[in-house]
Structure 1
Amino acid sequence: MTDTGPQPIPQSPPAAPAPPAPPAKRWAYVIPVAAIMYMLAYLDRNNVSVILPYMHGDLRLSNADKGLVGGVFFLGYVFLQIPAAILAQRWSARKTVLLLMVAWGAAASLSGLVRTTSQFYVARFVLGLFEGGVWPAVLILLASWFPLRERARANALWMACLPLSSVLMAPLSGWMLDQGSWRWVLVLQGVPPLVWAVVWWFAVADRPARARWISRAEADHVERAIAADEAAKPPAGGGSYLDAVKQKPVLVLIGVYFFWITGFYGFNLWLPSVIKELTHDGSSTEVGLLTAIPFTVALAVMIANAAWSDRTGRRRQAVAVPLVVGIAALLLGQAVDGALPRMLLLCVTAAAVYAPYGPFWAIPGELLRFEVVAVAMGLINALGNLGGFAGPYLVGRLTDATGSSVTGFAVLSAFLAAAVALVTLGLRPAVRPVRKPARQATEAA
């Protein structure tokens, strides 16, 4: 055998570099701008709950009328859900939200100029019409920025604007009522969305590749992770829009959301009135400050529940368990005496009905591909939010009929129980935990 000389020592291939850490700028740029935007929307939607107890003798509203004022918003809310979702997905979520923001700000200010009850109903309907498309459009935007393993936390941090709006704005609305007419409260609170529209236009991009404030490497990282999520989804999640909305899990989610939102808004609209009773007809500033307490608790619980949901992948439990707690607290609140125990139970109820938001809205993204999830989420939000009409109106009508809010809140508990049953039994075969950790998802891309 011929000696060929010393042989090179085999070298091990260099280790593959670790995937880059998920960029942090998404959380600092996208979430705060979107949260403030929707916080202003939620203010213009819910400020009426603080105003209604102090409108005596102006528009002569009965409890049923007050419930209708709160609920008619959601009749308008239905119409632009799916069109706005499709526009956001096919055209631009950024531009869709901008147009709706300007329109709802103008409608909110004009609602302070009404002269009759019928005009107030129409104004609230129009406000709901323009606000209706914002929710699904922003969910589409977030789906372009946050992979599934982060989706519940991203949703919850954005949706934290709901309780945060009440924490900050209920005292503000109460103070403004002490300074002047409820009409001026509505007119002035419609102005901030018009100002924030400018910030939205310059700060938000539809997807990472179009953002000026992150590096190319960061944008590629996010888009690769989202592409991996899409590739891993089951084939049943694709297909036409009609195929998407005909799937049993989507129909179940509509039912869950309807029953949950009926209880949610029934509680929310009447919370300031209940607190006003506890304070023995306290001032609007005092009621506003006390109303902020349950929503502060709700904010913390909402974020913690979403983080737990992302960590474990247990979406159904993260929706069902808080609602069970809410049912118990809502019923106990009607049975106990004393301002402090009832206030504590109001805090528990508020936390329970807000906690499912992040996990619930992470579920459609796990079931459906991006190209069809827009319509599915628009349909879920549109039909589910009809509960926002049913809840306030039922409580108002039953309070007028019985002279007590006990029956109304018992009915709200029944609606929440129906939501628990549907999410526990109806989604069992379909909702699966997110299985891939961050490293696997990046390598798959």
Structure 2
Amino acid sequence: MPPTPSSTAAPADSHPAFEAATYAKVTWRLMPLLFLCYVASYLDRVNVGFAKLQMLSDLKFSETIYGLGAGIFFLGYFIFEIPSNMILHRVGARLWIARIMITWGVISGAMIFVDSPTSFYVMRFLLGVAEAGFFPGVILYLTYWYPAHRRGKMTALFMTGVPLSGVIGGPLSGWIMQAMPGLHGLSGWQWMFILEAIPSLLLGVLVIFYLKDHIRDAKWLSEEQKQLLASQVQAEASQKSEESLRRMFANPKVWLMALIYFCFVMGLYGVSFWLPTIIKTTGVTDTFHIGLLTAIPYGVSAAAMILIGRSADLRRERRWHVAIPALLGSIGLLLSTVYDHNTLLAMSALTLATIGIMSVLPLFWSLPTAFLGGVAAAAGIALINSLGNLAGFVSPYLVGWLKDLTHSTNSGMFVLAAALVIGALLTLSVPARLVNK
């Protein structure tokens, strides 16, 4: 639950310097750990895109089987997302995020036992069940500490874990798969799953001892700092809708947000699950070199996410900061199909696409959190995330099916580009007064 210290009045010395120092202290305490957790989470979720480079030939899987297995993760995620976030809201982020991380670390490492399409589907589904609630739980957790005009930058900092997992995970996955095949009788892709699961387990244990559920529990803050934080969070909460779950599910704005997020996630997982394959199509065959090249678009997009998030906070403008990157992402995907046999030009296009897609996601979450509060926020964020992430099922399966059908990823990129355009247009249909806070 949100923090409720005994006094909600802002302290007398809450001048800009005191306020800035207080939020800097909170940020340095919370964000590095949450960021590392997301890096580990996303790496375990999408490293199957690298495993594919060896796994398909070892296990005789088709592109369609891979696409379905990659996407079925999101069915488990969808089913358990809202219950997981409601539990987090009740028992606190510390224990529940730790539980999520340790469980998904175990299941991700157990991917080494996949030996058939059925076992592939089952393990990916269970991984989705295990991870359900992590991302929306953190988004909800940030609302307990930061008001809306500070959350754009914080969400962007947190979500740079996605591109950084690509910067780290691409070369690391490529190196493991190239260097370790046959060691102790395991394939390179099996070693990749084992080694990349370890950080999730270690960070899950660290969360138990380090994270705090409430402002009032933060012994590293003074009473004046606690009062400042609580007063700003509660002042914003008083302007939000404390509606019932029934009314939240009937709220058309929540469903519009879910549809917008669905469109953006289509683009995200089209890139995440297929980037190594697209690079290979341009003529790069060495696994380690593919891993190095995937780091380029992710590294550039990490910087872009922070800069665009800072711009949105300074201007207190959300809609155009979401729509414009989405349109840039669409253009990048289309250009990647034009230059699909030229590595340099294709990488430039993919970098533009990744910048747009990655930058749009953290800013999107400033939209629903601007008008949802209390239990409606816990359930609403989870509902939007779970429905939106169904695109994580649709996107890789659709691209895989189209690749088997046409023997090219180009048709899939056209569909993903169209989804990003639709998402941008729907974002601009949201009234500015609702989200620009």
Q: In structure 1, what is the Cα distance between the partners aligned to 2:404 and 2:116?
A: 21
Check the 8 A contact 1:398/1:405 in 2, yes or no: yes
- Written as runs of structure 1 = structure 2, the 5 A alignment for 1:18-37 is 19=15, 20-22=18-20, 23=22, 24-37=24-37
Report the AA paired with residue 47 of structure 1: N
Structure 1 residue 188 displacement after superposition: 2.3
In the alignment, which residue of structure 2 is the partner of 1:55?
55
Count, aligned residues: 414
Check the 8 A contact 1:156/1:358 in 2, yes or no: yes
* Contact 2:264–2:361 (Cα < 8 Å) also in 1: no
**Residue aligning to 1:295:** 298
How many Å separate the matches in 2 of 1:299 and 1:329?
16
Unaligned runs of 5+ in 2: 1-11, 181-186
Offset at 1:351? 0.5
Counterpart AA for 1:298: S
Q: 1-side partners of 2:257 and 2:209: how far apart?
A: 35
Q: Distance in 1 between matches of 2:333 and 2:373?
A: 37
Q: Is the 8 A contact 1:316 1:431 kept in 2?
A: no
- Flag the 1:56–1:86 CA change in 2: closer, same or farther, 3 A: closer
Unaligned runs of 5+ in 1: 1-15, 435-445
Matched, 1:228 2:235: yes
Partner residue of 2:342 out of 332, 338, 353: 338
- The 5 A counterparts of 1:162-173 are 162-173=162-173
Separation (CA, whole Å) in 2 of partners of 1:311 and 1:39: 27
Deviations 1:11-30 (A, max 9, x none): xxxxx755332311111111
Q: Determine which of 397, 400, 404 is the counterpart of 1:400.
A: 404
Post-superposition Cα deviations, 1:303-348, rounded to whole Å, max 9, x if no partner, equal 1111111111221111111111111121122113522111111100
Q: Give TM-score, length-normalised by structure 1.
A: 0.90
Please tell me the residue identity of whatever aligns with 1:404.
Answer: S
CA–CA separation in structure 2 for the residues paired with 1:28 and 1:407: 44
1:35-76 alpha-carbon deviations (Å, 9 max, x no partner): 111211111101111120222431111111121121111111
| CA RMSD, Structure 1 to Structure 2 (Å) | 1.5
Distance 1:429 1:160 in 2: 26
What residue identity is the alignment partner of 1:291? T
The answer as to 2:224 corresponding to 1:217 is yes
2:213 matches 1:206: yes
Q: Supply the distance in 1 between the matched residues of 2:284 and 2:166 (Cα, whole angstroms).
A: 21
Q: Distance in 2 between matches of 1:272 and 1:366?
A: 36
Q: Per-residue deviation at 1:150?
A: 0.4
2:329–2:354 contact (8 Å) kept in structure 1: yes
Q: Displaced runs of 4+ in structure 1, greater than 3 A?
A: none
In structure 2, C-alpha distance between the alignment counterparts of 1:227 and 1:56, rounded to whole Å: 52
1:327 lines up with 2:330 in the alignment: yes
> C-alpha separation between the residues in 2 aligned to 1:56 and 1:87?
38
Query: What is residue 78 of structure 1 aligned with on the other side?
Result: 78
**Please, which moves more after superposition, 345-354 or 272-281?**
272-281
Corresponding residue of 1:46? 46
CA displacement, residues 128-147 of structure 1 (integer Å, 9 cap, x when unaligned): 11111111111121111111
Equivalent pair of 2:112/2:190 in contact (CA under 8 Å): yes
1:197-238 Cα deviation digits (max 9, x unpaired): 2211111101221122222222221111101111233xxx22
Matches within 5 A, 1:8-407: 19=15, 20-22=18-20, 23=22, 24-180=24-180, 181=187, 182-233=189-240, 237-281=241-285, 283-336=286-339, 338-407=342-411
Contact persistence 2:56–2:62 (CA under 8 A):
no
Tell me if the contact between 1:238 and 1:244 (Cα under 8 Å) persists in the aligned partners: no
Is the partner of 2:435 in helix, strand or coil?
A: coil
Normalized against structure 2, the TM-score is what? Answer: 0.92
Rounded Cα–Cα distance in structure 2 between residues aligned with 1:79 and 1:96 = 17
SS of alignment partner, residue 196 of structure 1: helix
Q: CA deviation at 1:429?
A: 6.2
Distance 2:332 2:218 in 1: 45
State whether residues 29 and 203 of structure 1, in contact with CA within 8 Å, keep that contact through their aligned partners in structure 2: no
1:90 to partner: Cα distance = 2.1
Quote the sequence identity (%): 33
Q: Max radius of gyration: which structure?
A: 1
